[in-house]
Amino acid sequence: MLYKSLAKPALFKMDAEKAHHLTIDGLAKTPRIPGALPLMRKLYGSPAASELHTDLWGIPFANPIGLAAGLDKNGQAVSGFSSIGFGFMEVGTVTPRPQAGNEKPRLFRLPDDLALVNRMGFNNVGADEMAANLRQASPYAIPVAVNIGKNKTTPNEQAADDYRACMRKLYPYGDFFVVNISSPNTPDLRALQHGDDLKHLLAAVLEERDEQRRIASSGREHSLAAPKPVLVKFAPDVTGEDLEYMVETAMASGISGIIATNTTVARDGLRHPNAKETGGLSGRPLTGRSTEVIRTIARLTKGQLPIVGCGGIFTAEDAYAKIRAGASLVEVYTALIYEGPELVRRLNLGLLELLRRDGFRTVSEAVGADVR
């Protein structure tokens, strides 16, 4: 309640991007304040419940609620976000070289629609500085995924080089990795989701992952270290045969999972004037569409490829619907802006109630219940 009564009114009077930076900078400073992290865990931490625990790719997750990429773009606030109840988080999207992103203003609230529009354009400090930030934050309290992309000035024909560079520089610091080819805010990026471009890109990323695995395993006497999982993030605007092909290509590549979905360029049914702004739309308008994409992917893969559900999760029922549609984990972003850090505990407590109501002993038992 502190967020909605005190912090949110002040933040929502500010420019959206200034409020974003103020929040991230504040969370980044919490490890240096004596007692701040334990206090945050006490105020906002999620319950330790065996029903919510899941193991995926050999990684233990205390609960299935994660932070989506885009909030902590530079890996500055890992310790802070790890203290408010999340089961995991993504940092990024990071590119090999620093870049300023698109011109401002580029982040817009749509409070009438419980939504955001952003056209940030992968603004970030670059892979080297992110590596330094993550090095300082380790060891992590929760699993951390690194979301990687390409620089705006890199042509698609050379995109694989950028993704390789990110993997090479950041491999020691990610528990798993996400290949972002679905942001609408980098010109022609979404073209990499289609045709042979997707096949070749995923092959290059996995080849680099395996090379970095060998380097990390040097000196081990008997075996290689386990390969770190690599996921690919799809847009919600792909349908029909295009989506089928993308899923088939992902499965054939040996990728570890799919994140569904990124932001949308659709604007159906919106009321707020900021709906006219170009960029990716996130939040409540995406709830149903992202769940439907998850359900489709789960059917196409027959449940053989883990899915991380993302898009419009505001309530435990929203998260549960994505889990029953086939998501093993779920992520929030926009709801955190509107609801505050109390959201994560509320989602986890609500999930516990829903699992017990339906007789599931663990969250893993509920995954894909509606598509089996």
Q: Just list the catalytic residues.
A: 183
| Separation CA 65–CA 316 (nearest Å) | 10
Identify the bridge partners of residue 66 per DSSP, sorted by sequence position. 88, 331
| Separation CA 238–CA 261 (nearest Å) | 10
Matching residue, tokens 């991230």: 24
DSSP strand pairing (144-148 vs 107-110): unpaired
Cα torsion angle, 273, 278, 283, 285, sign: positive
Matching residue, tokens 């149903």: 288
- Cis? peptide before 273, omega within 30° of 0: no
| Separation CA 31–CA 28 (nearest Å) | 7
Residue 256's φ and ψ, nearest 5 degrees, are -90, -20
Whether the CB-CB separation of 325 and 298 falls below 8 Å is answered with yes
Whether the CB-CB separation of 182 and 219 falls below 8 Å is answered with no
Which of 66, 68, 47, 67 is closest to 56 using CA atoms?
66
Q: What is the DSSP string of 262-296?
A: --B---TT--SGGGGS-SEEEEGGGHHHHHHHHHH
Q: Where are the alpha helices (DSSP H) in the chain?
A: 2, 8-11, 16-29, 36-44, 78-81, 127-137, 159-170, 195-216, 240-253, 287-301, 316-325, 334-339, 342-357, 363-366
